[in-house]
Amino acid sequence: MSTPFYVSPQQAMADRAEYARKGIARGRSVVVLTYADGILFVAENTSRALHKVSEIYDKIAFAAVGRYNEFENLRIGGVRYADLRGYSYDRADVTARGLANVYAQTLGTIFSSVGEKPYEVELIVAEVGKATEDDQIYRLTPDGSVVDEKNTVVVGGNADSIGTYLGQRHTPGLSLGEALKVAVESLARDPNGGSPRTLTPEQLEVAVLDRARPQQRKFKRILGGQLSRLLAAGSGDGGGDSEDTELDLPELDEDE
Amino acid sequence: MEANTRGTGRLPAAFLTPGHSSFVDFLAEHSPELIPGRRKLPEGLTIEAPHGTTIVAAVFDGGVVIAGDRRATMGNVIAQRDIEKVFPADEYSAVGIAGTAGLAVEMVRLFQLELEHYEKIEGTVLSLEGKANRLTTMIRGNLGMAMQGLAVVPMFAGYDLDLGRGRIFTYDVTGGRSEERGFAATGSGSVFARGSLKKLYRTGLTGDQAATLVIQALYDAADDDSATGGPDLARKIFPIVGLITEDGFRRLSEEEVSAIAVTITDERRNHPDGPQAPLL
């Protein structure tokens, strides 16, 4: 019985895609959406140290679901790619499109290489522009496909139902508080039609790429008290304007 | 060396190897030719290149101020009148550079990236002590070129978030690091600047007073050192002053610095040697 079974290329690829998809569907989702001043990232994540959303470069952030060691590897590769490119040329020459292409090549090569198992990850690479129209969001699947997304995107478990809900509720020009409210509501929904869960600030990882930030680096985590205030304001009535000024806090006071 | 010019366009293995949080170490492995100190010069050759001169810093209540003049010289020629020698290293620290300008500016870029890279990879910032030590390593890497006349002598100042105060570190060309108390000066005019600082410095200064103090010191350095440029009122070129507090790095605006510089220059019309400290 030494003759191997014949597996058609179509079947082999379908099997690999199915394997990766199942791995991704097990995890909690990450929601990415545009708001008036930039791009908001919301993930369900109880860990304060193991991030699903991270900074890559000045205007570029990364969000991922799936196997932690695999997307962490890709994140570090992306940071090295961006820093090396910015150092060799100029900071302005580091773009989300370039990074998405490198990720696509990397994921695609791994996906179709016989010796490796496909990565069980789904990534989002986003870049905040000078205006809402210039914001770029790319979604990358384990086979190396790149999808250019507009306004909202969801990856991870129940992505379809969350994405449909989010897409219907999202309107351009939301304030940060409003956008956060919509994102949290869509994450908290029960896909089987039950009553929605309540997500506390401790269960959420929230970050923004804020184009209004005076610093060169536009990425900012929203933590602790600020997150609680934003969530409370959002659940009350619309988004206030006091939250936005909070975002100008220096970047490094992240631990509380 | 670009990531997607190699092979299939997939990120090279070095990019996906876990372990490094240091950009300099990564660069040394992947693209060593991009590290400033790695370039080999022919033996026995000395190159004349523009040099930056005086950097001063002083600690005040709640932070530290660092300032640099704007002159770069090449031999007896003024190579540039508006060079910038004080740069933010990250949110809470700054680096000022004296020595070979071209190499120093490149070293600062790499140092800024080193701190940012660590922060992104690790998700946390280096301690101020850790940042100062990284700079040591980078200067040491440049020793070969320093021996051939291309020395870089930086000064590092920052706000220590753990200790809640400003701190200053100075370096020699071998990477020798020393923490300074109160104030410090480096570069060709540093002898005169240090004398000035010594007489005018006292504890309990405010940020504004510290800014005035360092500009006074730069004025005195420019007064006696031909390689240091004073406030250029005609061209409106004034020293660069960076203020680092709990709120982070802030570069004083041109209006703020020019206001102080003009006041000092006016005062010096009557007292050319500047303010006088009491004899006893």
| Structure token digits, residue A237 | 């009535």
Q: For chains A and B, count residue pairs whose Cβ atoms are closer than 8 Å.
A: 87
Q: Which residue's entry shows tokens 């033996």?
A: B43
Q: Do B4 and A251 touch (CB under 8 A)?
A: no
Q: State how far the Cα of B186 lies from the Cα of B85, in Å rounded to an integer.
A: 12
Helices B128-141 & B101-122, crossing angle to 10 degrees?
Answer: 140
User: Where does the pLDDT of residue A247 fall: very low under 50, low under 70, confident under 90, or very high at 90 and above?
Assistant: very low
What number is the average pLDDT over the span A101-123? 93
Q: What confidence tens digit (pLDDT) does each residue in B134-158 have?
A: 999 999 888 888 877 788 999 999 9
Query: Chain B closest CA to A49's CA: distance in Å?
Result: 8
CA–CA dist A242, B268 (Å, integer): 47
Q: Which of B15, B90, B116 sits opposite A80 (nearest CB)?
A: B15
> What does the buried/exposed string (b/e) look like for A8-33 if buried means 16 or more CB atoms within 10 Å of the residue's CB?
eeeeeeeebeeebeebbbebebbbbb
Q: What pLDDT, on the 0 to 100 scale, is given for residue A251?
A: 45
What residues of A are in contact with residue B30 (Cβ under 8 Å)? 84
Contact list, B117 vs chain A (CB under 8 Å)? 79-80, 83
> pTM of the predicted model, to two decimals?
0.88
What is the DSSP-derived secondary structure letter of residue B279? Answer: -
Residue with token string 């040491």: B140
User: How many other C-beta atoms lie within 10 A of the C-beta of residue B257?
Assistant: 19
Looking at CA atoms only, how far is residue A121 from chain B in angstroms? Answer: 15
Average pLDDT over residues A1-25: 88
Neighbours of A199 (CB within 10 A): 16
Using DSSP's 3-state secondary structure scheme, residue A38 falls into strand
Asked if residues B122 and B21 have their Cβ atoms less than 8 Å apart, the reply is: yes
**Angle subtended by helix axes B23-30 and B101-122, to nearest 10:** 110
Contact B248 A252 (CB under 8 A): yes
Q: Which of A106, A143, A216 to mutate to test the interface with B (most CBs of B within 10 A)?
A: A106
Task: For residue A46, give both structure tokens.
Answer: 């109880």
Partners of A54 in the β-ladder: A62
Dihedral of the alpha carbons of A92, A97, A102, A106, in degrees to the nearest 10: 150
Q: Of A152, A172, A171, which Cα lies nearest the Cα of A162?
A: A152
* Distances, alpha carbon B73 to alpha carbons A247, B49, B225, in Å: 43, 8, 12
**pLDDT score at B8:** 62
Q: Does residue B280 register a pLDDT over 90?
A: no
DSSP characters for B9-58?
SSPPHHHH-TT---HHHHHHHH-GGGSGGGPPPPTT------EE--EEEE
The single-letter code of the amino acid at B183 is: F
Among the residue ranges A153-167, B14-28, B69-83, B104-118, the one predicted with the least confidence is: B14-28
SS3 for B145-158 is HHHCCCCEEEEEEE
Model confidence at A1, pLDDT cuts 50, 70, 90, reads low
**B16–A86 C-beta distance less than 8 A:** no
Residues of B in contact with A255 (CB under 8 A): 124
> Are the Cβ atoms of B8 and A109 closer than 8 angstroms?
yes
Q: What is the structure's pLDDT at A44?
A: 93
Of the ranges A3-12, A20-29, B34-43, B256-265, which one carries the lowest mean pLDDT score?
Answer: B34-43
**A15 vs chain B: nearest CA distance in angstroms?**
23
Mean pLDDT of B157-175: 95
Q: What is the DSSP string of A185-227?
A: HHHH--TTS-PPP---GGGEEEEEEETT-SSS--EEEE-HHHH
ipTM (interface predicted TM) = 0.86
All residues of chain A having their beta carbon less than 8 Å from the beta carbon of residue B63 are none
Classify the C-alpha dihedral B13-B19-B22-B28 as positive or negative. negative
Residue B58 near chain A (CB below 8 Å) = no
- The answer to whether B11 contacts chain A (CB < 8 Å) is yes
- Element (DSSP H or E) covering residue B180: strand B177-180
Torsion angle defined by CA atoms of residues B73, B259, B205 and B218, in that order, rounded to the nearest 10 degrees:
20
**Inter-residue contact B69 to B228 (CB < 8 Å):** yes
**Angle between the B207-224 and B254-270 helix axes, to the nearest 10 degrees?**
60
Residues of A in contact with B123 (CB under 8 A): 49, 51, 54
Retrieve residue A204's tokens: 């959420």
Closest Cβ–Cβ partner in B10, B116, B247 for A106: B10
SS3 at position A87: helix
List CB contacts (< 8 A) between A73 and chain B.
16, 18
Strand arrangement, sheet containing A136-140: A53-57, A60-66, A121-127, A136-140, A146-149
Indicate yes or no: CB of B4 within 8 angstroms of CB of A101: yes
The amino acid sitting at A179 is: A
Higher-confidence residue of B278 and A237: namely B278
Mean residue pLDDT of chain A comes to: 89
The reported pLDDT for the residue numbered B37 is 73
CA-only gyration radius of chain B, Å = 20
Tell me the β-bridge partners of A145.
none
Write out the DSSP string of A44-69: E---SSS-SEEEEETTEEEEEEE-HH
Q: What percent of chain A has pLDDT over 70?
A: 91
Q: Are the beta carbons of A51 and B123 separated by less than 8 Å? A: yes
Q: CA–CA separation, A216 vs A209, rounded Å?
A: 11
Mean pLDDT of chain B: 91
Closest alpha carbon to B193 in B168, B171, B215:
B215
Residues of chain B with C-beta less than 8 angstroms from the C-beta of A87: 23, 27, 34, 109-110, 113
Over residues A154-209, the pLDDT tens digits come to: 999 889 999 999 999 999 999 999 999 999 999 998 888 888 888 999 999 999 99
Look up tokens 């004034």; give the residue.
Answer: B238
pLDDT for res B18: 83
* pLDDT for residue A149: 94
| Largest CA-CA distance found in chain B, in angstroms, rounded | 75
pLDDT at B42: 74
The answer to whether residue B255 scores a pLDDT higher than 60 is yes
Helices (runs of H) and strands (runs of E) counted in chain A: 7, 10
Q: Which two tokens stand for residue A246?
A: 């909070």
From the candidates B10, B21, B244, B253, which should be mutated to test the interface with A, based on the most A CB atoms within 10 A?
A: B10
- Say which of B8, B53, B136, B245 is annotated catalytic: B53
Q: Please determine, for residue B85, whether its predicted confidence score (pLDDT) is greater than 60.
A: yes
Cα separation, B115 vs A73, whole angstroms = 20
> Catalytic residue at B53?
yes
